[in-house]
């Protein structure tokens, strides 16, 4: 199964952009890249997903490398409520395999 | 309000007892999932169900059992055969489209402690 690699933790200042990287060098052609985040003591929530092209929604942007071996989740202006663990997941069907994710700390 | 409910939020049991965790959704979703999360780790899939009266094992099904008699309910039983049952258990649901790429909606979780 294709795996993802993310930094264990990152810090950001409030109201600054945050770029969360994810490496997935063994991604297959049919794998979609999904991002979820998990606030403390809560269930994960969907953030964004994409296949090849960059994607934007109200929560974030997803930049996907041309070779698809890496991607970056972009939070345009971090707020204290964005402090969470962010998971980058490759999906091909119902199976969603979570890694340990990146713990984002947002400093006021 | 539409959503997923899990009860109770905290559950304590003695070793050797079976325990059933509740998961209910009113989103009219076909697919439902159970995950387990240990401290500092990601989620691992226990079981999933794409339709009523059908379910499949995930990566760590040993020591667990499920049923899917109703579309809105997917209870998980943690049996005494599960060697390390203490964990945070999360239920999720999704529309269940044929691509399997649909967004999963998660409940608030049940924290099970077995002593």
Summarised one tens digit per residue, pLDDT across range B24-52 is 999 999 999 999 999 888 899 999 999 99
Question: What does the pLDDT read at residue A2?
Answer: 62
Output the average pLDDT for chain B.
93
Residue from A96, A97, A98, A100 to probe the interface with B (highest B Cβ count within 10 Å): A96
Which residues make Cβ contacts (< 8 Å) with residue B4, sequence separation at least 6?
Answer: A43, B23, B24, B25, B27, B91, B92, B93, B105, B106, B107, B108
Q: What is the pLDDT of residues A49-84, one digit of tens each?
A: 999 999 999 999 999 999 999 999 999 999 999 999
* Distance (Å) from the alpha carbon of A88 to chain B's nearest alpha carbon: 11
Provide, as residue numbers in chain A, all residues whose Cβ is less than 8 Å from the Cβ of B109: 41-43
**CB-CB: which of A42, A93, A100 is closest to B100?**
A93
CB contact under 8 A, A49 and B101: yes
Confidence of residue A1 (pLDDT cuts 50, 70, 90): low
Residue A81 phi, psi dihedral angles, 5° rounding: -75, -10
- Scanning every residue of chain A, which has its alpha carbon at the shortest distance from the alpha carbon of B57? A95
Percent of chain B with pLDDT over 70: 97
Share of chain A above pLDDT 90, in %: 78
For A4, residues 6+ apart whose C-beta sits below 8 A from its C-beta are A22, A23, A24, A88, A89, A90, A99
Among the residue ranges A89-98, B41-50, B66-75, the one predicted with the least confidence is A89-98
């Amino acid at each position: 199964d294709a795996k993802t690699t993310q930094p264990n933790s990152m810090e950001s200042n409030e109201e600054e952009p945050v770029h969360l990287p994810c490496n997935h060098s063994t991604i297959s052609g049919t794998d979609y890249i999904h991002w979820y985040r998990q606030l403390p003591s809560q269930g994960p929530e969907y953030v964004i997903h994409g296949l090849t092209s960059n994607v934007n929604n109200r929560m974030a942007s997803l930049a996907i490398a041309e070779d698809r071996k890496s991607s970056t989740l972009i939070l345009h202006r971090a707020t204290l409520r964005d402090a969470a663990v962010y998971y980058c997941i490759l999906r091909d069907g119902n199976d969603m395999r979570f890694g340990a994710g990146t713990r984002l700390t947002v400093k006021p | 309000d539409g959503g997923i409910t899990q009860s109770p939020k905290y559950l304590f049991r003695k070793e050797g007892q079976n325990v059933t965790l509740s998961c209910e959704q009113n989103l009219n979703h076909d697919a439902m999932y159970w995950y387990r999360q240990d401290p500092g780790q990601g989620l691992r899939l226990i079981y999933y169900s794409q339709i009523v009266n059908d379910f499949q094992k995930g990566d760590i099904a040993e020591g667990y059992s499920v049923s899917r008699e109703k579309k809105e309910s997917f209870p998980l039983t943690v049996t005494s055969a599960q060697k390390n049952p203490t964990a945070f258990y999360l239920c999720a649901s999704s529309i269940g489209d044929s691509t399997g790429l649909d967004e999963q909606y998660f409940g608030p979780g049940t924290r099970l402690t077995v002593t």
